[in-house]
């Protein structure tokens, strides 16, 4: 595998046409020579389809009924042709060089299955974007690039979950011993705004209890075997959440 292995970018979207220009712009700014984008419209009622149909040649548009982001991502993975899979929600951005850095990390570490960069939260105020947090590492699919074999080994996203399906998936990656290469440069600019699905959701509403319940059920059913000592501790693999999301920083993006 080389640093220019084909990357398939999977982007689920629901009524996200307002973010389309910035989203396609941040992908183009990656200047990665071998990519495809699979945009899965999860039953939008805005003009996203119209925008996407006139998009660049590397963009593939798919539409499905509203089944939630997990189902949309699974549909995108099934349609993807790349050796590597990346994810980007339409309201988020990537730091320039993200795809080059993470694909290079995987090329230089053939024993690694996932490469992940850092995250910074940002907000938009008066038409301008500002970083509002320091950098951190936690579960956010947009900050990582995955080898296709990860999904073959760990399964896809749990479609019954409307929230935290990414957390559930990453726990399964840890259970299966997927190796993650941490890149200490910012990859994802995570957009905090009033339409965030997770805004004002508590741990139970986010499915936090359900995620650990599913983990215990897999253990008890013998579907996974606990590894002691584990190669990578759970906290080191998952990272740490950031609270509050807004640290009061206002550094231009």
pLDDT in tens, the chain (253 residues): 455 899 999 999 999 999 999 999 999 999 999 999 999 999 999 999 999 999 999 999 999 999 999 999 999 999 999 999 999 999 999 999 999 999 999 999 999 999 999 999 999 999 899 999 999 999 999 999 999 999 999 999 999 988 889 999 999 999 999 999 999 999 999 998 665 555 455 544 555 677 777 777 887 777 776 554 556 788 899 999 888 889 999 999 9
pLDDT of residue 226: 58
Say if pTM beats, i.e. exceeds, 0.85: yes
pLDDT at 115: 98
What three-state secondary structure class fits 201?
coil
> What phi, psi does 130 have (nearest 5°)?
-135, 135
Residue pointed to by tokens 């906290």: 235
Q: Is the Cα torsion angle 140, 145, 148, 149 positive or negative in sign?
A: negative
Compute CA 135 distance to the chain's CA centroid, rounded to the nearest angstrom: 16
Domain locations in the chain?
Answer: 7-247
Distance CA 96, CA 31 (A): 8
The superfamily (CATH) of domain 7-247 is: Spore Coat Polysaccharide Biosynthesis Protein SpsA; Chain A (3.90.550.10)
**Cα 150 from Cα 58, distance rounded (Å):** 24
Cβ(81)–Cβ(6) under 8 Å?
A: yes
Structure tokens that stand for 204 in this block: 């139970």
CA–CA dist 228, 34 (Å, integer): 40
Q: Looking at residue 212, what is its pLDDT?
A: 74
- Token readout for 170 is 């990453």
**DSSP class of residue 152?**
H
pLDDT computed for residue 203 by the predictor: 47
- Name residues whose C-beta falls within 8 Å of residue 205's C-beta, 6 or more positions apart in sequence: 163
In which element (H, E) is residue 35 found?
Answer: strand 35-42
For residue 228, the model assigns a pLDDT of 47
CA 132, CA 192: separation in Å to the nearest integer? 9
């Amino acid at each position: 595998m080389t640093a220019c292995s084909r990357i398939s970018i999977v982007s689920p979207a629901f009524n996200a046409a307002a973010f389309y220009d910035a989203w396609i712009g941040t992908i183009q700014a990656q200047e990665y020579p071998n990519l495809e984008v699979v945009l899965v419209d999860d039953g939008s009622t805005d003009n996203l389809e119209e925008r996407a149909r006139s998009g660049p040649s590397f963009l593939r548009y798919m539409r499905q009924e509203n089944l939630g982001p997990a189902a949309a991502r699974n549909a995108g993975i099934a349609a993807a042709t790349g050796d590597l899979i990346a994810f980007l929600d339409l309201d988020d951005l990537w730091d320039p060089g993200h795809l080059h850095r993470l694909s290079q990390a995987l090329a230089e570490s053939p024993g690694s299955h996932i490469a992940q960069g850092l995250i910074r939260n940002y907000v938009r105020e008066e038409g301008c974007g500002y970083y509002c947090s320091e950098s951190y590492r936690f579960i956010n699919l947009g900050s990582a690039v995955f080898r296709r074999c990860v999904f073959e080994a760990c399964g896809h996203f749990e479609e019954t979950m409307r929230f935290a399906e990414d957390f559930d998936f990453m726990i399964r990656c840890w259970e299966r011993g997927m190796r993650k290469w941490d890149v200490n440069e910012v990859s994802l600019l995570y957009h905090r705004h009033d339409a965030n699905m997770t805004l004002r959701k508590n741990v139970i509403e986010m499915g936090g209890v359900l995620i650990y319940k599913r983990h215990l059920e897999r253990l008890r059913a013998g579907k996974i075997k606990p590894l002691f000592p584990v190669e990578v501790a759970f906290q080191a693999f998952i990272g740490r959440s950031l609270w509050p999301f807004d640290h009061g920083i206002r550094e231009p993006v």
